[in-house]
Amino acid sequence: MPSFEGDLRAPEGARFAIIASRWNARITETLLEGARKAMADHGVDEDAVDVFRVPGAWELPVIAARLASTGGYAGIVALGCVVRGDTRHFEHVADGCSEGLMDVAMEFGLPVANGVLAVERVEDAEARAGGSHGNKGEEAAMVVIEMSDLLARFS
């Protein structure tokens, strides 16, 4: 039985987009550094990565959809951080962002990695942005590279 799996190398000539939220900037900048490092470590030239910044996690899906619609990217990494507060706003933003990013991926058949942390406390975010749980920005970038390679095999 044939088995297919992507590699951690970008397809020839592939361009990638990283969208980073400015909200909780201390966390998202660390996620962005991790994503950029992962791209470089896996052979993606810095000039093949465009970085876009948006106000918060809620805005990530709309720019992801616009970028996907151009057909110019092999994958998109979305980075943000939503910390639970005293209201239901956390659920609205985290869930809406996640669903929106999945909608973009499905509509355009494009890898869209959800590197948006949805955490209870800032300390939980710090653990996932270069702390004890690694860097989720780095992991999201690696997912996009692998998936873009896998999808390129079927084009």
What span, in angstroms and rounded, lies between the C-alpha atoms of 152 and 144? Answer: 12
Residue 89 bears catalytic tag: yes
> Residues, the chain, total?
155
Q: Which of 28, 24, 27 is nearest to 51 (CA)?
A: 28
9 appears as a binding residue in the annotation:
no
Amino acid at 109: G
Q: Judge whether 59 is annotated as a binding position.
A: yes
* Tokens matching residue 47: 């000039």
Task: Please tell me whether 87 is known to bind a ligand.
Answer: yes
- 14 assigned binding-site residue: no
Tell me phi and psi for residue 62, to 5 degrees: -70, -40
CA 30, CA 34: separation in Å to the nearest integer?
A: 6
User: Is there a binding annotation on residue 77?
Assistant: no
Which one is catalytic: 42, 89, 92, 133? 89
28 labeled binding residue: no
57 marked among binding-site residues: yes
Instruction: Judge whether 116 is annotated as a binding position.
Output: no
* CA gap 80, 42 in Å, rounded: 22
Would you list which residues are annotated within the binding site? Answer: 23, 57-59, 81-83, 86-87, 114, 128
Would you list which residues are annotated within the binding site for (2S)-2-hydroxy-3-oxobutyl phosphate? Answer: 86-87, 128
Would you list which residues are annotated within the binding site for 5-amino-6-(D-ribitylamino)uracil? Answer: 23, 57-59, 81-83, 114
Q: Which residues are catalytic?
A: 89
